[in-house]
Amino acid sequence: MRQDDPLLAGQVPDADRDVRFLLDSGRAADAGVVFDRIAAEARVVDARWDPAVVLAHRAVLAWQLGRIPLALELAAEGWASLDVDQARGVTAAQAIGMLGYLLDTVGGHRASLGILMESVELARRAGDADTLAHCLSREAGSRLMWALRGPADSVRARLVAPLELYEEVLSLATPGQTRRRALAGSARALVGLGRVAEAEPLATRGLTASQEADDRYTLSLGNVAMAEVRWHQGRLCDARTFAARAVDAADSIRDARLLIWFAEILAAICRELGDPVCEANALRRAVSASRTKMRMLQEGLGQALEQRRVTLHAQEQEAAARQAADRDALTALLNRRGLGRQAAALLQQAVVNERKPWLALVDIDHFKDINDHAGHPAGDRALLEVARLLLRESRTDDVVSRWAGDEFVVLLVEHGDDASCSAGPTAAERIRRAVHDHDWRLVVGDTARPITVSIGVATGPPHLDSLFTAADHALYRAKRAGGNRVEVELAPLPER
């Protein structure tokens, strides 16, 4: 196929157009080699190009080359990069048109037709004749296929719309593949409407132009158009020849949809001609192409599902790793890092709701004595039990963390029903009493000293560092006073 064809010129990179030209020339292996170079960074689009149209075009290429999972991913990313509600311009029209074409290729005609019609309207508003011709050609091709493959009693009625679309394309399109498609498509629609005399010169012109351009895609369309012209003229041997050429051309460009359709036409001509061998071969090719298409879909969807499973598993592992990084290994409470992450949201909530934040710094009294007299395993059990009590005595939206060693932090915001300037001290006293009244014998055995906690509580501006510093001062006073008590401090206002 000629490299000077205007199809998508200036809208996708030259390498992408090279793949398209190679495919339409029947050089699928060469197209695959070039596409592999692109596929390494298929989702990376240079700033010079509109990502939606490039990704949609690459999705179509990947589909034709049998790279089904990649095609589905690129199509999804192409659609995601479109602002559908604000879509406008030639690139949006092309991107939406190609995504509609891909959906139509998969078999979603009803859904795709609306998308193809939307691309036409976008192209009309953009005012670019070549883009409008291209988008019209896609809609016409979809309507033509489903008209000719639909119920026989409604074929004529449904052929009027694609014929009108193709006539508009021919009034707009410069020489190139879009015009060749329209010549072949118009001829087929005219044949279906019984206007064979008008169809023949269009089919001939389209076929000649396709041969000159070495365009196997439109060559397949032109040959099948000539086959239908000769079939309706009663020249069955000629019709068989043209239909066989159409099948071969569709096979060479790896278009399973066209191959199946044209092989069925060839089989019908051979049946009418009384050539059972030709009919059987044609049906065999149609069945083989259908099976290949189904296998590609199954394998592609299987790969896509597996890739999705792997992605989800990786996301779950990443989330688990993030969560583990924010948690204390012994108590499973938030660690210092986790506290920093969650404190920001809680303190912001305090600002928005105009509520006072409180920070309670909890320290186990004489923790070294527990380790010395009952052993480090008992010390660990004591830390676990204190953590459990802290969670039990705190509200669900309070942030509870292990700060370091035997120190814990509880960060809370006063609610509407406890806005009496004592929410923090009340919570701290509740925690202190719960620890004091707890039966520790099952946890650490009979120790010389019962387990208690000292708590420093602070309130003030919603800044974690200043709240912590003030709570630390209050904790120091609680410790100096003998422990097992709560002291309160007001955090200073930040310097301006």
pLDDT tens for the chain, residues 1 to 496: 555 556 677 788 888 989 988 988 889 899 999 998 887 776 677 778 888 888 989 999 998 888 888 888 888 888 888 765 677 788 889 999 998 888 888 776 777 888 899 999 999 999 989 999 999 999 999 999 888 887 878 888 999 999 999 999 999 977 888 999 999 999 999 999 999 999 999 999 999 999 998 899 999 999 999 999 999 999 999 999 999 999 999 999 888 888 989 999 999 999 999 999 999 999 898 888 777 766 666 665 566 556 666 767 777 777 777 777 889 989 999 999 999 989 998 999 899 888 999 999 999 999 988 888 888 888 999 999 999 999 999 998 999 999 989 999 999 998 765 555 688 999 999 999 999 999 888 888 776 678 999 999 999 999 999 999 999 999 999 999 999 999 999 877 655 4
Residue/partner pairs of 416-419 with CB below 8 Å, 24 or more apart? 419/355, 419/356
pLDDT recorded at residue 449 = 74
Packing angle of the helix pair 236-252, 216-232 (nearest 10 deg): 160
Query: Which residue, among 256, 281, 288, 251, has the nearest Cα to 266 in the 3D structure?
Result: 281
pLDDT recorded at residue 496 = 46
The strand pair at 357-364 and 486-490 is best described as unpaired
CA 470 remoteness from chain centre: 48
pLDDT recorded at residue 42 = 66
How far, in Å, CA of 6 to CA of 174, rounded?
Answer: 8
CA 428 remoteness from chain centre: 48
Dihedral of CA atoms 107, 148, 113, 291 in degrees, nearest 10, equals 10
Q: Are 464 and 456 in contact (CB under 8 A)?
A: no
Query: Which residue, among 422, 444, 435, 426, has the nearest Cα to 377 in the 3D structure?
Result: 444
Q: What is the DSSP letter of 330?
A: T
Dihedral of CA atoms 479, 482, 484, 490 in degrees, nearest 10, equals -40
Task: Quickly list DSSP for 37-60.
Answer: HHHTTTT---TTS-HHHHHHHHHH
pLDDT recorded at residue 444 = 80
Q: Are 189 and 162 in contact (CB under 8 A)?
A: yes
CATH architecture of 14-306: Alpha Horseshoe (1.25)
Q: Which amino acid is at 34?
A: V
Place of tokens 């493959």: 149
How far, in Å, CA of 482 to CA of 494, rounded?
Answer: 31
How far, in Å, CA of 496 to CA of 311, rounded?
Answer: 48
How far, in Å, CA of 166 to CA of 271, rounded?
Answer: 31
Q: Which two tokens stand for residue 410?
A: 């509880």
Domain ranges for the chain, please list them: 14-306, 336-490
The strand pair at 357-364 and 453-459 is best described as antiparallel
Q: Which class is 336-490 in CATH?
A: alpha beta
Count the Cβ atoms, other than its own, within 10 Å of residue 113. 17
How far, in Å, CA of 264 to CA of 125, rounded?
Answer: 39
CA gyration radius, the chain: 37
Phi, psi torsion values for 131, nearest 5 degrees: -65, -40
How far, in Å, CA of 40 to CA of 123, rounded?
Answer: 31
Place of tokens 């041969």: 211
In this prediction the pTM is 0.61
How far, in Å, CA of 496 to CA of 488, rounded?
Answer: 25
Count the Cβ atoms, other than its own, within 10 Å of residue 354. 7
pLDDT recorded at residue 154 = 84
